[in-house]
A and B are shown apart, each in its own frame.
Chain A
């Protein structure tokens, strides 16, 4: 019985499996990049790499929020829909209403990007709060609440947009999606800055500790005096914040917001988090892993595009990868138990 032995895994030399499990996503990312660069030299060009990072940054922002949710053993399927709805609201604010939705570059009509961004985040936070309260007060499982939310927010977006996109923003709005600081695209900077903040929150704050505790063992967390209800509710608000922020950056990048934006994002986002090593069973995972996972998915999709693989096959690959990542997690877990 290993239970009587401190450090059972580490004292028969190097725990190769543990090392691999920890750095598997990073190793996989580099292997993938090596393969793509051998097959297609254009892949490694700085233009293409920054392009990949720009694409990754939207789903990456959502994945940061999703990490908080999954750490509590929850899930949020509504991210794509909430993003679409929040983006439309932001766009409408930027355009000063729905009248001039198709006019391009008409200055001075709407409100500034500041208010637009604020509106997007507000919609996201309120949407997340409603779902968080439903989960904790009505005691409906997160899967069901956010599956409902997925439909509700998409419907709200379609209703709001009345069938068409809202496009054509001021330059200082679109800068947040299309601009660069030096060679680095602005969305990438936003993604990494918020990743850093989230990392600090999870790793170094009391609130972060409590999230891991609630995910690891909710009953033990309650009996240790934690306000479990509040903590669970809060992660959906955080998820909503990132959906709002992501919607603003996406609208800025595309210079347009539409009701079908973000369709299928929940899959990419959850895949990024899970591939990054966060356990769907809660309590285990890091933001660093999520960032690596996001890049991994981005590189994979970009590489497949460069190699002219059809987008249908890309979908199949992402689906398979999610299942494999969870299978790996389950395997690692059962191995930990046995040792």
Chain B
């Protein structure tokens, strides 16, 4: 239970941090009580990451005061922060995959008399820590052989080994299955009982309601609100985050008249191989989507949604199954084949799989449709390319300085629009969008949803994959669910609710609990 009456364990006040041309934080304060799970919330770009970096000692504030345990402190570098007991667990883990659990937990602080390492002590200490949080693994197991959830527990064990008093978790649930999230919450509550405070950063507001005691919301680098979670609703938090009413958010559109079947997939199967024993399998997946229709695919992480999309697009090979486009069975062996058949894919990881971050917006936008902007079959027609960029800038309302601006400078939402423009320029018959709004803020999400409607209206068959059920419900005309590589059900939009979908996604999945 929150102990808000006592003096705060951590108190940041008046924190200001500027980067060239940008004020990332402007007089922000944050108070975390002892034995408290504190949610730090805000849209992307609100200043959360900068605040976390200051807490971790990775960056210094320009102004402001940090009081820890009653004493003013200067977090000059990450080492100082760790010495004080402030430990950050990042979204991307910082483990060495080819070293054991024990080595990772004690990396840089190996027990034993210098220069020797006491392996037995390292193993036994590690086991104590992992048992405390319910990780039942031999300390000498290589981190590579652990699941994502188990790797996260190793990170937590490492934090505990440093005698942490505040553990900061940045998006800890984003890669976990439902059962794993529950398990994580159990650990987090247990740590609270042991007297550790947790700063919990997440986009999933339901989780805030479930596990957090208090919250702080940032907006545009300033404090937008703070208080007890018990006193607020999800809608209330969203209002604080966006600073406006969002009742239009995730509103559904009219179902369009169905067109002809644009894409049909029958019996798509991709099994694990010896080379890739951790791959997610897909088994006997069949689906179809009509022109002008948006087919939603719902499922938990590891259900095989992305793998299905990648197999259809030719990004990964598959073992068996047929892909039928416009009534014709086609052979797709590479993304090139798929593109020539009129299929596009907006991949799930924008930065790793879609964008050329250092390069100009125009080259990013035209790279898949270069044959449309060349003359004499060899040279680029740059004037035509600039017109293309200008057309899509207007159509998709992309906020950018100019076509030569590096795409890496844009916000997540505008980056995603550039990726969408790349595919729209090809005039695809089928467009698969995988997590189309991951990591972009709520205003841009609504815009992307509207773009998906527009695409469907123009006759494109859209397949939308999303981990957020409200999003699947908002954009889809028809929804299929997947679990463990298989299609487990299908619902029209009119008959679907979050509860029904969740049941279809998780039914009988107890065996998956790690």
A residues sitting closer than 8 Å to B (CB atoms) are 1-12, 204-207, 209-210, 212-213, 216-217, 219-227, 283-284, 336, 338-339
| B412 contacts A2, C-beta separation under 8 Å | no
Q: Mark B336-368, 1 if CB is under 8 A from A, else 0.
A: 101110000101000011111111000100111
Contact residues of B between 316 and 341, Cβ < 8 Å to A: 334-336, 338-340
B21 within 8 A of A: yes
Set of chain A residues within 8 Å of B44, measured between Cβ atoms: 1, 3
Beyond A217-B353, A222-B334, 5 additional contacts (C-beta under 8 Å) are A3-B409, A210-B367, A216-B356, A216-B358, A226-B367
Set of chain B residues within 8 Å of A9, measured between Cβ atoms: 20-21, 409
A213-B374 CB under 8 A given contacts A220-B353, A223-B315: no
Q: Which of chain B's residues has its CB closest to A212's CB? A: B359
Set of chain B residues within 8 Å of A217, measured between Cβ atoms: 352-353, 355-357
| A2 contacts B19, C-beta separation under 8 Å | yes
B239 within 8 A of A: no
Q: List 23 A-B contacts (CB under 8 A).
A: A1-B44, A2-B22, A3-B411, A7-B405, A8-B19, A8-B21, A9-B21, A12-B21, A205-B378, A205-B380, A206-B371, A206-B374, A209-B366, A209-B380, A213-B356, A219-B352, A219-B353, A220-B353, A222-B335, A225-B339, A225-B340, A226-B336, A283-B356
B466 within 8 A of A: no
| B378 contacts A223, C-beta separation under 8 Å | no
A108–B363 Cα distance when bound, in Å, is 54
A328–B53 Cα distance when bound, in Å, is 25
A224–B315 Cα distance when bound, in Å, is 10
A9–B46 Cα distance when bound, in Å, is 19
A336–B19 Cα distance when bound, in Å, is 12
| A225 contacts B335, C-beta separation under 8 Å | yes
Q: Which of chain A's residues has its CB closest to B444's CB? A: A4
Q: Which of chain B's residues has its CB closest to A219's CB? A: B353
Set of chain A residues within 8 Å of B47, measured between Cβ atoms: 1
Tell me how many residues of B have a C-beta within 8 Å of chain A: 52
| B370 contacts A209, C-beta separation under 8 Å | yes
B512 within 8 A of A: no
| A212 contacts B356, C-beta separation under 8 Å | yes
A222–B335 Cα distance when bound, in Å, is 7
A4–B401 Cα distance when bound, in Å, is 11
**Partner among B336, B355, B401 whose Cβ is within 8 Å of the Cβ of A220:** B355
Contact residues of B between 20 and 66, Cβ < 8 Å to A: 20-22, 24, 44-47, 49-50
| A225 contacts B358, C-beta separation under 8 Å | no
Q: Mark B198-221, 1 if CB is under 8 A from A, else 0.
A: 000000000000000000000001
Set of chain A residues within 8 Å of B356, measured between Cβ atoms: 212-213, 216-217, 220-221, 283
| B50 contacts A339, C-beta separation under 8 Å | no
| B20 contacts A8, C-beta separation under 8 Å | yes
| A5 contacts B354, C-beta separation under 8 Å | no
Set of chain B residues within 8 Å of A1, measured between Cβ atoms: 22, 24, 44-47, 49-50, 221
How many Å from the CB of B60 to the closest CB on chain A?
13
| A206 contacts B345, C-beta separation under 8 Å | no
Set of chain B residues within 8 Å of A12, measured between Cβ atoms: 20-21
**Partner among A2, A209, A210, A338 whose Cβ is within 8 Å of the Cβ of B409:** A2
Contact residues of B between 346 and 404, Cβ < 8 Å to A: 347, 352-359, 363, 366-368, 370-371, 374, 378-380, 382, 399-402
**Partner among B353, B380, B402, B422 whose Cβ is within 8 Å of the Cβ of A206:** B380
